[in-house]
Structure 1
Amino acid sequence: MAVTLKGCYTVKPTEKTWCGRLALSELDQTEQVSHVPKIYFYHPPENCKYPTIASTLRDSLSRVLVPFYPLAGPLHWINNGRLELHCNASGVSFIEAESSSSLQHLSDDFNLYRLLAPTVDYTLPIHQNPLLLIQLTRFSCGGISIGLTISHVVVDGPSASHFICEWARLARGEPLQTASFHDRRVLRAGEPPSVPLTECHVHVEFDLPPLLLGKNDNAEERKKKTTMAVLELSKTQVETLRKRANGNYSRYESVAGHIWRSACMARGLKEEQPTMLSITVDLRRRIKPPLPEGYFGNATLDTVASGLVGDLVLEPLGYTCSIIRAAIEKVNDDYVWSGIEFLKNQEDLRRFHLDAIAKESEEEVFYGNPNLSVVSWLTLPMFGVDFGWGKEVYMRPATHDFDGDFKLLPGPVGGSFVVALGLQVEHMDAFKKHFYRDIE
């Protein structure tokens, strides 16, 4: 599929916004120094002409950047691996492109999807890259795609979804539904540590994950070629997994546990091999007081489920689910604030960053073989996004090929799941076999 760029614009807030330096929370500071891409595909009605679509998107984007003004300013390094956000209304990128292909010819070849979301040049200084980039692509069939890529340092999944939904509301001519809340001091942004490190809980999620037995580092694993797959689970298959877990665990726990077990088998790991599943937990309602509605920033904390491969694959699925549930349940108010204090006590945060151009750096956390990490998009309002010409045909992450990373998304039919997974190429076919073998 060929994609031709037709124009690139800088879109700025249509009104004057607050300008100044915005302190980031420790939860922002330790997120990936990268952008997260996703693509929405549409079949606009025949009476909705492309020039109108393009102008509607640009106009509504400039208006939504007023309440969501942090997205229009750059990041700057300050010291010891820490960042701050300069709110200066410098704008975001809006790209227009064309493709000779049609939506019907798109497949799950993610090399094609890479062409439909903006790319970010991470060789540039961080302050030269926009926090938000949009690409509108017109296909020969009249369909379009809207590819978004948004800085993970500035927002997490719920905040990104909040922005997209409000942008779509303005594009439809409706008012904002939920105001964005930007004062990150509610998560002690910019404040010094308040308790000594010795008084913090033990936070194994900040330790380096297990290595393959017999290895002193993961340099070799980092260099192996990876690929991405999007796998669908019907409602019946999801319920089958719940029954395998004795029906005592949620759909999320059952599917995540099944993926962890399948990856262990696909990788051919030894029974005595330690393995870790890093689980991203939304803390908005887990702390006291809960974060204000519309909090715009990162409000997640990772927790860790760990075990031996032999126990995970030989015990029933319910055993793996129990480990996952126990890890999630420990993320309470005390645990969250202790985690924030732990991070504040770190002199240098560079080891927490997963930089998009230095994935092989041994200083960065790596959740690849023999480990995994999971993010759930199951409850996010990221589907049914209508900019004024109807809801999307479908939505996909543009790329997700870090070894061991997977996302869980709601499927097209109620109760079904979509799994977007990155694995080493040599393990993907075996993973698919194990993944479907026990549920068909």
Structure 2
Amino acid sequence: MKVDVVETTLVAPSEDTPRRELWLSNLDLAVPKTHTPLVYYYPAPAPAGGGGATDGPPEGFFAPARLKAALARALVPFYPLAGRLGVGEGGRLQIDCNAEGALFAVARADFAGDDVFQDYEPSPEVRRMFVPFAPSGDPPCVMAMFQVTFLKCGGVVLGTGIHHVTMDGMGAFHFIQTWTGVARGLELADACGPPPFHDRTLLRARSPPCPAFDHPVYSPALLNGRPRPFVTRVYSVSPKLLADIKSRCAPGVSTYCAVTAHLWRAMCVARGLAAGAETRLRVPANVRHRLRPPLPRSYFGNAIVRDLVTTRVEDVLARPLGFVAQAIKDAVDRVDDAYVRSVVDYLEVESEKGSQAARGQLMPETDLWVVSWLGMPMYDADFGWGAPRFVAPAQMFGSGTAYVTQRANKDDGIAVLFGLEPEYLQCFEKVFYGE
């Protein structure tokens, strides 16, 4: 499969924007220093006249000029995305808001959408084809990169690569909603809704920092696993299977907690972990509504902290599924204002000591990391020709990492994207689907 890039340009904000150095919080600095690669697949729409597929997409379908003009307008409120990663006082990373622009590429492929998305698997190859390449996530790299790839079938893939220090998933999808709304012809204020809130000092450490809890989830010692070859599969969780999983949990347990408990159990079985071994689950939590006072809902930055559920493999396997799901729920519920402030202070103390807290990414084989995109507006990305048929990461970065997401049609249930060593896949799938 071949993809040829035919145009690459920088798109600057369409109006003057603040020129300043944007301070990054400890939560921004705790994420991987890389661009998060996503793909949005848009099949060619049916011709308006009811003609056959050979009629091709409508005139102007994903016209690059229209997308670039809308991007330039969307970058006005989201101006950090037009900047560059910089280094400030004491070597601390910052965003240099200099309006140099986001990278925008146009490409053409010699294959159809079904060749990739009918049985989709995130991989380095998918990222290479659809997301612009960044040689490094270090300064002075661009903060945002986009590529529109026209497929042989008439469909389009939008690949996005936004540097993780700029924002979390909520911020990313807020930006995409704004860009797509402007492309559809909405006024900028209507497309954006509440403007992005850029003051990250709301998450500044206290002086002096005084962590009140232990935070082993950020310890480099727990992210020292060895690199292992892995593949990523997309597992459909039908409404029937989801109802069965949740029926084994207490009322009020969320879909995330129930599905993650089920996934954790299947992973322990597939990997053949010893019953007495310790296993850990990393649980991310959005803190916007957990702080007192809460952060603005449109806070544009990383507002995610991690908690850790630690238990023995025998408990995950022998206890009722509801027990495991409740343990996950308890970990999520623990994340309150005091916990968040403690995390921020802990990271400050570790930074002052020169440690590499939170910098590792490779987990040991006993561990699992599950991210939830449930409730995210990931399919509200209509540029004017309809919503995407499929949205997903282009690549996963380690074995034992999973995303739980909704599907384009909510009646189809949800999806779990999971990276696992290939030798464990068959056993995992049998346990996951109850075969």
- Fold match by TM threshold 0.5: yes
Cα offsets for 1:393-433 (capped at 9, x unmatched): 22121111411111100124426111111122332332222
Decide which of 198, 218, 221 is 1:182's aligned counterpart. 198
Structure 1 runs of 4+ aligned residues shifted over 3 Å read 44-48, 77-82, 109-112, 208-211
Q: Which moved more, 1:73-82 or 1:167-176?
A: 73-82
Decide which of 156, 159, 174 is 1:147's aligned counterpart. 159
Are the counterparts in 2 of residues 80 and 350 from structure 1 also a CA contact under 8 Å? no
| Distance of 1:51 and 1:382 partners within structure 2 | 21
| Distance of 1:79 and 1:367 partners within structure 2 | 32
- Aligned partner of 1:31 in structure 2 is 31
Q: Does residue 240 of structure 2 align to residue 230 of structure 1?
A: no
> 1:154-173 counterparts in 2 under 5 A?
154-173=166-185
Using structure 1 for the length normalisation, give the TM-score. Answer: 0.89
Decide which of 108, 123, 130 is 1:116's aligned counterpart. 130
Alpha-carbon distance change, 288 to 233 in structure 1, aligned in 2, over 3 angstroms: same
| Distance of 1:426 and 1:180 partners within structure 2 | 45
Q: Which moved more, 1:68-77 or 1:46-55?
A: 46-55
| Distance of 1:51 and 1:161 partners within structure 2 | 22
| Distance of 1:352 and 1:81 partners within structure 2 | 16
| Distance of 1:109 and 1:254 partners within structure 2 | 24
Are the counterparts in 1 of residues 284 and 305 from structure 2 also a CA contact under 8 Å? yes
Alpha-carbon distance change, 293 to 412 in structure 1, aligned in 2, over 3 angstroms: closer
- Aligned partner of 2:281 in structure 1 is 277
Are the counterparts in 2 of residues 210 and 274 from structure 1 also a CA contact under 8 Å? no
Which residue type is aligned with residue 392 of structure 1? P
Q: Does residue 81 of structure 2 align to residue 75 of structure 1?
A: no
- Aligned partner of 1:426 in structure 2 is 423
Which residue type is aligned with residue 172 of structure 2? A
SS in 1 for 2:356: helix
Are the counterparts in 2 of residues 99 and 140 from structure 1 also a CA contact under 8 Å? yes
For residue 207 of structure 1, report the CA deviation from its aligned partner.
2.7
For residue 247 of structure 1, report the CA deviation from its aligned partner.
4.5
Are the counterparts in 2 of residues 377 and 408 from structure 1 also a CA contact under 8 Å? yes
- Aligned partner of 1:352 in structure 2 is 357
| Distance of 2:385 and 2:355 partners within structure 1 | 44
Cα offsets for 1:372-402 (capped at 9, x unmatched): 1111100111113110111112212111141
Alpha-carbon distance change, 419 to 344 in structure 1, aligned in 2, over 3 angstroms: same
Decide which of 240, 246, 254 is 1:242's aligned counterpart. 246
For residue 248 of structure 1, report the CA deviation from its aligned partner.
5.2
Alpha-carbon distance change, 103 to 236 in structure 1, aligned in 2, over 3 angstroms: same
Cα offsets for 1:76-134 (capped at 9, x unmatched): 24477731111101111111111111123323243452211222212xx7223211110
- Aligned partner of 2:105 in structure 1 is 95
- Aligned partner of 2:115 in structure 1 is 105
Decide which of 253, 256, 260 is 2:260's aligned counterpart. 256
| Distance of 1:28 and 1:13 partners within structure 2 | 23
Are the counterparts in 2 of residues 239 and 251 from structure 1 also a CA contact under 8 Å? no
Are the counterparts in 2 of residues 209 and 367 from structure 1 also a CA contact under 8 Å? no
| Distance of 1:185 and 1:210 partners within structure 2 | 28
Alpha-carbon distance change, 18 to 86 in structure 1, aligned in 2, over 3 angstroms: same
Decide which of 386, 401, 407 is 2:403's aligned counterpart. 407
Decide which of 388, 391, 394 is 1:395's aligned counterpart. 391
For residue 244 of structure 1, report the CA deviation from its aligned partner.
2.1
Are the counterparts in 2 of residues 372 and 405 from structure 1 also a CA contact under 8 Å? yes
Cα offsets for 1:29-58 (capped at 9, x unmatched): 111101111111113444633576211111
- Aligned partner of 1:367 in structure 2 is 363
| Distance of 1:145 and 1:250 partners within structure 2 | 32
The gaps in structure 2 that reach 5 residues or longer are 48-56
For residue 4 of structure 1, report the CA deviation from its aligned partner.
1.1
- Aligned partner of 1:201 in structure 2 is 213
RMSD: 2.1
Which residue type is aligned with residue 342 of structure 1? Y
Alpha-carbon distance change, 104 to 332 in structure 1, aligned in 2, over 3 angstroms: same
- Aligned partner of 1:214 in structure 2 is none
Which residue type is aligned with residue 185 of structure 1? T
Alpha-carbon distance change, 301 to 353 in structure 1, aligned in 2, over 3 angstroms: closer
Which residue type is aligned with residue 373 of structure 1? W
Q: Does residue 330 of structure 2 align to residue 326 of structure 1?
A: yes
Decide which of 59, 69, 77 is 1:59's aligned counterpart. 69
Alpha-carbon distance change, 264 to 98 in structure 1, aligned in 2, over 3 angstroms: same
Alpha-carbon distance change, 92 to 206 in structure 1, aligned in 2, over 3 angstroms: same
Alpha-carbon distance change, 51 to 352 in structure 1, aligned in 2, over 3 angstroms: same
| Distance of 2:272 and 2:89 partners within structure 1 | 42
| Distance of 2:326 and 2:343 partners within structure 1 | 23
| Distance of 2:114 and 2:281 partners within structure 1 | 37
Are the counterparts in 2 of residues 43 and 393 from structure 1 also a CA contact under 8 Å? yes
The gaps in structure 1 that reach 5 residues or longer are 212-216, 355-363
| Distance of 2:377 and 2:165 partners within structure 1 | 20
SS in 2 for 1:242: helix
Which residue type is aligned with residue 196 of structure 2? S
For residue 225 of structure 1, report the CA deviation from its aligned partner.
0.8
| Distance of 2:320 and 2:220 partners within structure 1 | 28
Are the counterparts in 2 of residues 80 and 349 from structure 1 also a CA contact under 8 Å? no
Are the counterparts in 1 of residues 403 and 418 from structure 2 also a CA contact under 8 Å? yes
Which residue type is aligned with residue 131 of structure 1? M
- Percent identical pairs in the alignment equals 33
SS in 2 for 1:232: strand
Alpha-carbon distance change, 51 to 331 in structure 1, aligned in 2, over 3 angstroms: closer
Alpha-carbon distance change, 351 to 81 in structure 1, aligned in 2, over 3 angstroms: farther
| Distance of 2:97 and 2:209 partners within structure 1 | 32
Alpha-carbon distance change, 327 to 368 in structure 1, aligned in 2, over 3 angstroms: same
Using structure 2 for the length normalisation, give the TM-score. Answer: 0.90
